[in-house]
Amino acid sequence: ARQDAATPIVIVGHVDHGKSTLIGRLLHDTDNLPEGRVAQIVESSKKRGLKVEWSFLLDSLQIERDQGVTVDSTRIPFRLGDREFVIVDAPGHRQFLRNMITGAADAEAAVLVVDAAEGAQEQTRRHAMLLRLIGIRHVIVLMNKVDLLDYDPARIAETERAVAALLKQLDIEVSLFVPASAREGDNIASRSPHMGWYQGPTLTEALALVPAPSGRADLPLRLPVQDVYRFDTKRVVVGRIERGRVKVGDSLVIGTHGTVARVASIESWHTAPQISAVAGQSVAITLEPDVIPDRGDLLHQPGETPIRAARIRSRLFWLRQEPLRVGESFRLRLGTAEHQVTVASIDSVVRLDDLTEHPADHVPPEGFAEITLAASESILFDAFAPGTTDGRGVLVDRHQRIVGGAPLIGPAAIASGTKAIH
Ligand code: GDP
């Protein structure tokens, strides 16, 4: 179902390394700017006595965004030939991080912007960690501001080596390093006249090489129950198919209680009843016998069973301003389900300066860690897998605030001396 959809990309990087400039430049050089925007940018740049500042474009988009109060992420569409992309952006650093961990950004590819003169900085590391955590599969590194290095290949290669080493340590496969100047327009949408030594693709050529999001229809079925309605004599189970397909006549296992029922019909509001539906579609089905699943139950086919565990190992990105400590309790949001969980242990925390893992008794704000969560009941889940919604847990506090992203990576062994919960 996503086959023809726009490819979502995120642009990340340390503050001031040129993200906004890049977005402006990219939209302009690919003829994707709305009418009148260019004149507006030239005008406001002149007012400040500057050369054209592409980052003003983003600021002007920002103003529109701020007026729409409920929107906390912007999707900036742009077209390259016959291919559609959408840049997923957010007004602030924290909102951006939140979008990334909740899947609101749902990006297929990322452009990591690094100031070639400055090299990787703190946020470069944090963003790279985040890209690994959420499993973005295609990372293009834009070595920006090479004009400041006089387009010198030796100096650019020096920064490139350092960034490559950092990403290798994180197991991030870099598709490409593109030496560029967002401000001057070198190697963004057109080949730079100053870098004859560079034979690789420009940024837009690199983006065109990113494979389109692949369909999830052929994977085993996962249908999280959103709601159950009563209509006349029958009950209708409503949800969005996360992956796989469902057909009339299929046997489905209902969540943790394991009851099996048959799909009697797939209802449709506007058209004749359907025979089957695939990933990405929302469906309303009736079951036979007329069992009643709960919101949050995960429907799947027999033999295609998810993991079932009450102690779960999770990779964590911690967002709250105060550190996380063992013993704290949260709600774990997983698909349409919510479970009560307690942090049973903090197994390791990543040290940001060298990206190595160490034991620690707390996770600092914006920290990365591996933790064990203990739930009061068994949870059905799939281990996190890049490019899917599998295992995408989010921790919320009692005020419903998102405090951390917690991709579930598998069941946790019960440490000796610890009392089992189930
Ligand atoms: P952001 O914080 O990552 O969004 O960075 P901005 O796009 O706001 O850029 C920060 C500063 O770097 C601005 O003054 C830009 O004009 C400047 N800048 C961005 N790209 C380049 C570039 O390719 N070359 C040079 N010399 N300056 C750039």
Tens of pLDDT, residues 5-41: 788 899 999 999 999 899 989 988 998 877 666 677 6
- Indicate whether residue 239 lines ligand 1 (CB < 6 A): no
- Indicate whether residue 315 lines ligand 1 (CB < 6 A): no
Taking CA atoms only, the protein residue closest to ligand 1 atom 25 is 145
- Indicate whether residue 19 lines ligand 1 (CB < 6 A): yes
Widest Cα–Cα separation across the chain: 75
β-bridge pairing 138-144 and 109-115: parallel
b/e map of 298-332 (b: 16 or more CB within 10 Å)?
bbbbeeeebeebbbbbbbbbbbbeeebeeeeebbb
Residues 85, 9: contact at Cβ < 8 Å? yes
Model confidence at 373: pLDDT above 60: yes
- Tell me the mean pLDDT in the region 364-371: 95
Task: Find how far residue 255's CA is from the centre of its chain.
Answer: 26
- Indicate whether residue 326 lines ligand 1 (CB < 6 A): no
Q: 370: which strand partners?
A: 315, 348
- Indicate whether residue 118 lines ligand 1 (CB < 6 A): no
Ligand 1 centroid from CA 138, angstroms: 23
- Indicate whether residue 13 lines ligand 1 (CB < 6 A): yes
Helix 153-169 × helix 122-133 angle, to 10°: 50
**Would you call 55 helix, strand, or coil by DSSP?**
helix
Among 6-15, 69-78, 286-295, 345-354, the least confident range: 69-78
Residues 183, 117: contact at Cβ < 8 Å? no
Q: What is the pLDDT of residue 422?
A: 41
Handedness of CA 365, 370, 376, 381 (dihedral sign): positive
β-bridge pairing 307-318 and 251-254: unpaired
Indicate which atom in ligand 1 lies nearest the CA of residue 113: 3
CA atoms of 408 and 400, how far apart (whole Å): 20
CA atoms of 173 and 400, how far apart (whole Å): 35
CA distances from 97 to 16, 44, 90, 323, 353 (A): 17, 30, 9, 17, 20
Q: What angle do CA 352, 357, 359 make, to 5 degrees?
A: 115
Q: 350: which strand partners?
A: 357
What is the reported pTM? 0.83
> Pick the residue with more confidence: 32 or 185?
185
- Indicate whether residue 20 lines ligand 1 (CB < 6 A): yes
β-bridge pairing 402-411 and 337-351: unpaired
Burial class, 84, CB count within 10 angstroms (exposed 0-12 / middle 13-18 / buried 19+):
middle
- Indicate whether residue 372 lines ligand 1 (CB < 6 A): no
pLDDT digits (tens, 9 = 90+) for 70-120: 334 567 888 998 899 988 877 677 778 888 888 776 788 899 999 999 999
- Indicate whether residue 179 lines ligand 1 (CB < 6 A): no
Ligand 1 centroid from CA 312, angstroms: 43
Burial class, 118, CB count within 10 angstroms (exposed 0-12 / middle 13-18 / buried 19+):
middle
Which element (helix H / strand E) includes 148?
A: none
- Tell me the mean pLDDT in the region 43-57: 65
- Tell me the mean pLDDT in the region 233-257: 91
HSE value, Cβ hemisphere, 13 Å, CA-based, for 65:
17
Q: What is the pLDDT of residue 152?
A: 98
List for the chain the helix, strand, coil content (%; round to 5): 20, 40, 40
Indicate which atom in ligand 1 lies nearest the CA of residue 53: 16
Tokens read off for 237: 């189970």
pLDDT digits (tens, 9 = 90+) for 384-400: 988 788 999 999 999 99
CB atoms < 10 A from the CB of 365, how many? 11
Tokens read off for 252: 């489905």
Tokens read off for 309: 């565990």
In this prediction, the answer to ipTM > 0.90 reads yes
Indicate which atom in ligand 1 lies nearest the CA of residue 21: 7
Taking CA atoms only, the protein residue closest to ligand 1 atom 18 is 18
Among 19, 52, 55, which residue has the most ligand 1 atoms within 8 Å of its CB, making it the best to mutate?
55
Among 21, 114, 194, which residue has the most ligand 1 atoms within 8 Å of its CB, making it the best to mutate?
21
CA atoms of 170 and 352, how far apart (whole Å): 12
Ligand 1 centroid from CA 151, angstroms: 16
> Above pLDDT 90, what percent of the chain?
60
Q: Which residue has the tokens 């940024």?
A: 203
- Indicate whether residue 16 lines ligand 1 (CB < 6 A): yes
